[in-house]
Structure 1
Amino acid sequence: MPIKTINNIPIYYEQHGQGDDLVLIGGMTSDHQVWKSALRLLTPHFRVLIFDNRGAGQSGSPDYPYTMEMMATDTLQLMDALAIKRAHIIGHSMGGAIAQQIALTEPEKINKLILVCTRAKISTIGSMIFSMREKLQATGMKDDVLAEYVMPFLFSETFLQNKINVKGFAHWTIQNPFPQTAMGYRNQLNATKTRDFTDQLYKINIPTLVISGEEDIISPARYGKKIAKLLGNGKFISIPDCAHMPHVEKSKAFFEIVMDFLCRDGDLSRL
């Protein structure tokens, strides 16, 4: 099992493919498996690093409140341990916040940056959704019921009208052999709730694409548009009929956008 000890915490990771390095950072509750379906599209062009953030999957889950700085340092030190000097970075939701922290801390480590369904500061609605999930999990709610609770916040109505999609996501959640613990969730939530990048985004001049789902409740598209406007070199694009998980819900459209951005010369005006 590929593990690196980072900051005294075992961090599970996988590398796939060849080419320029691409680091994928998952959101809260997610582990590396959320990116598995993307590997077929990405690995012909990139050496892709997927991993479990602290508090999720097969990585360690120390019991103290995490910060965005801690989680960014985990990612940077994992890159160092794998001799990745510079990479494209894609961060989804909380992973997008981690990516913002990396861009502020060590911008020289990033070629191009893609921020997906994220925000500079958690929204009131997002905070309430995450806090309620924490309370429900603490009651001992079964994983299948918890999955049913979160789906309306993650996916669009069109996606949820398809029973196959609903069954598939519930099955994927229940069958995960390494589900996130309540402790891991609580400590990741602390990192998400306590960081605000709004006044620092102007410092980020890396070519950056901000992607939002037009129906996202957790990180509404207007938040993504605001991030792109505040960045020194940002561009915004939204995906219609899509909510918080475009890499799952609209994977074809999402990865076409990703490939177009990463494989061009960085001229954002053509998007």
Structure 2
Amino acid sequence: MGQHVHAEGLDIWTEQVGSGPDVLLIGGLGDTVESWQFQLDGLADRYRITAFDNRGAGRTAITEEELTVEQLADDAAGVLRALGVPAAHVAGFSGGSVIAQELTLRHPELVRGLVLQSTWPAMDPYLRSWGLFVRWLVEAAPGEREFLEWFSMFIYTPRAHSDGTVGRFIDEVLAFPHKQPTENVQRHLDAFLGHDTTDGLPRIATPTYVLAGGRDITARPELGRTVADLIPGARFQVLAEESHQPFQEAPEQWNGLVDAFWQEVEAPDATRRG
């Protein structure tokens, strides 16, 4: 059962399930707690999992000042502190992975193990053009369904379109009562478009696992590779047949990979060295 917690001057919508070592899940552009449903269901027998709606998405309001990734990272830190979580394993995807990078830089004591899915240090010209296209599309599309159908072409595999997965996701989003206004989508995009962690990533000392989809044409594997190369000791893996959001398309595989990584982080130092 979800609840609002007060942090960073906001009432932030959170959901917490399971028991065990703490995990914090950070969604991407406009994504809410529900985007992590396969992890909330599939990992709660091993972890106490917290997911939340970023400010300006779902059931969390947004303030008038300029939205920044640093602000979103502080919100994530505020959620952990409001819930009394001293430190957690953190996973973020897409824009949420950039928030997770900044969370680790700004509040390293809160992050035990870091998973970055479909990530980048700074948008290269191709990814930036795609972000600007989405910024236009959300306003220019003739309707919400059309926007979601076109947007989904870039973030899910043809397999997920053909087997009905994408259609089901779109129906769920259309039925969701807490939709993100167009202006908020654009404000989030603006924050990500202008953010760059290139210089900060070498300071991350947290064990890090970077995952990329081999069929992702937005946050392409070479961008994830750059992140992994910049973070000392980071592990990098390409899921060859997956796209931008394998945690939704192939949740059992994804859950298994991140669980194995976090179990390794949980192990005593001698075991990790071995």
- Where do 1:71-150 residues align within 5 Å? 71-139=72-140, 141-150=142-151
SS at match of 2:91: strand
Deviation sequence 1:56-77 (CA, Å, 0-9, x none): 0000022443111100110111
* Matching residue of 1:224: 224
Kindly provide the CA deviation profile for residues 2-30 of structure 1, in whole angstroms up to 9, marking residues without a partner as x: 11222222210011111111000001111
Residues 153 and 185 of structure 1: CA distance in aligned 2, closer, same or farther (over 3 Å): same
Match of 2:202 in 1: 202
4+ aligned runs moved over 4 Å, structure 1: 266-270
Whether contact under 8 Å (1:63, 1:184) holds in the other structure is: no
* Deviation per residue, 1:123-182 (Å, 9 max, x gap): 3232222322222322463111111111111012232232x1232122122112111111
Counterpart code for 2:120: R
Quick one: which amino acid aligns to residue 192 of structure 2?
A: T
Calculate the TM-score normalised by the size of structure 1: 0.94
Q: Output the aligned Cα RMSD.
A: 1.8
Q: How far does residue 103 in structure 1 lie from its aligned partner after superposition?
A: 1.2
Q: SS at 1:236's partner residue?
A: strand
Structure 1 residues 59-78: aligned runs within 5 Å: 59-78=60-79
After superposition, the C-alpha distances for 1:75-119 in whole angstroms (9 at most, x for unaligned) are 111111111111100011111111111111121111111001011
User: Which residue is equivalent to 1:252?
Assistant: 252
- Aligned residue number for residue 166 of structure 1: 166
Offset at 1:42?
A: 0.9
Local SS of the residue matching 2:200: helix
CA distance in structure 2 between the aligned counterparts of 1:90 and 1:268, rounded to whole angstroms: 20
Residue 187 (structure 1) aligns with: 187
SS in 2 for 1:187: helix
Specify the code of the residue in structure 1 equivalent to 2:99.
I
Which region of structure 1 is more displaced relative to structure 2, 153-162 or 44-53? 153-162
Between the aligned partners of 1:215 and 1:64, the Cα distance in structure 2 is: 37
**2:34, 2:107 → 1: CA distance?**
27
- Aligned to 1:199, what secondary structure does the other structure show? coil
CA–CA distance in structure 2, aligned partners of residues 181 and 111 of structure 1: 34
Give the percent of matched residue pairs that are identical in Structure 1 and Structure 2: 26
What SS does structure 1 have at the residue aligned with 2:149? helix
- Alignment coverage as a number of residue pairs: 269
Partners of 2:230 and 2:169 lie apart in 1 by 35
> Does structure 1 conserve the Cα–Cα contact (< 8 Å) formed by 2:53 and 2:59?
yes
Q: Which amino acid aligns with 1:195?
A: H
Partner AA of 2:174 in structure 1: I
Distance 1:221 1:140, change over 3 A: closer
Task: Please give the alpha-carbon distance, in whole angstroms, between the structure 2 residues aligned to 1:40 and 1:119.
Answer: 28
